[in-house]
């Protein structure tokens, strides 16, 4: 690969990382800017499908907007194929959600199939979608002594655990 191709790979990875950072920090304006206007999404094996940036961001904001909804989405294992000003990629996702209002924990895994396009000097998301390997949920009230000990919103990101 040439330095230009290696740079494209690095920049596409960073696009995905920024997308997931915006998601978990609830930065909806930042998220918008990473998607082209006619972007499409097919989450959860296509069960949650959206057309256009407005629909996608609307879906995410409605379902992940509450500050009691704490999420960690981590993308692993990028296998990116460059095709000039387009690129396709497979990623492995793991996600954790702990909801301190509805008292549930979710742990999931999936494989993404994304498409990116070059817009000027940078890359944007044209399509994103994933199919679940598994997803499990449990009520946190079922576990005696379960505690949320830090929250980005509730505790300024600080833990309440003692240290030595």
List the structure tokens of 96.
């954790």
Instruction: State how far the Cα of 65 lies from the Cα of 7, in Å rounded to an integer.
Output: 34
Q: Specify the stretch interacting with a copy of itself by CB under 8 A; choose among 6-14, 30-38, 116-124.
A: 6-14
Instruction: State how far the Cα of 3 lies from the Cα of 8, in Å rounded to an integer.
Output: 9
Give the nearest distance from C-beta 41 to a copy of itself in angstroms: 12
Helix (H) or strand (E) holding 108: strand 104-119
* Binding string, residues 32-51; x marks residues near a copy of itself by CB under 8 A: ------------xxxxx---
Instruction: State how far the Cα of 130 lies from the Cα of 83, in Å rounded to an integer.
Output: 21
Give the nearest distance from C-beta 133 to a copy of itself in angstroms: 5
* Binding string, residues 49-88; x marks residues near a copy of itself by CB under 8 A: ----------x--xx------xxx-xxxxxx---------
Q: Which of the residues 91 through 150 are near a copy of itself (CB under 8 A)?
A: 92, 94, 96, 98, 105-111, 130-140, 142-150
Sign of CA dihedral 25, 28, 29, 32: positive
Give whichever of 85 and 135 is closer to a copy of itself, judged by the CB atom. 135
């Amino acid at each position: 690969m040439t330095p230009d191709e290696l740079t494209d790979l690095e920049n596409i990875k960073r696009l995905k990382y920024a997308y997931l950072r915006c998601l978990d920090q609830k930065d909806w304006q930042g998220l918008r800017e990473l998607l082209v206007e006619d972007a499409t999404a097919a989450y959860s094996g296509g069960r949650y499908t959206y057309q256009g940036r407005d629909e996608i961001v609307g879906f995410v904001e409605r379902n992940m907007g509450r500050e009691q909804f704490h999420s960690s989405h981590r993308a692993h294992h990028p296998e990116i194929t460059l095709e000039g000003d387009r690129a396709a990629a497979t990623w492995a996702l793991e996600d954790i959600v702990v909801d301190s209002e509805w008292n549930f924990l979710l742990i999931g895994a999936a494989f993404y199939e994304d498409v990116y396009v070059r817009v000027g000097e940078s890359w944007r998301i044209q399509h994103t979608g994933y199919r679940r390997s598994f997803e499990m949920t449990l009520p946190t009230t079922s576990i005696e002594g379960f505690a949320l000990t830090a929250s980005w919103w509730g505790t300024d990101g600080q833990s309440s655990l003692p240290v030595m």
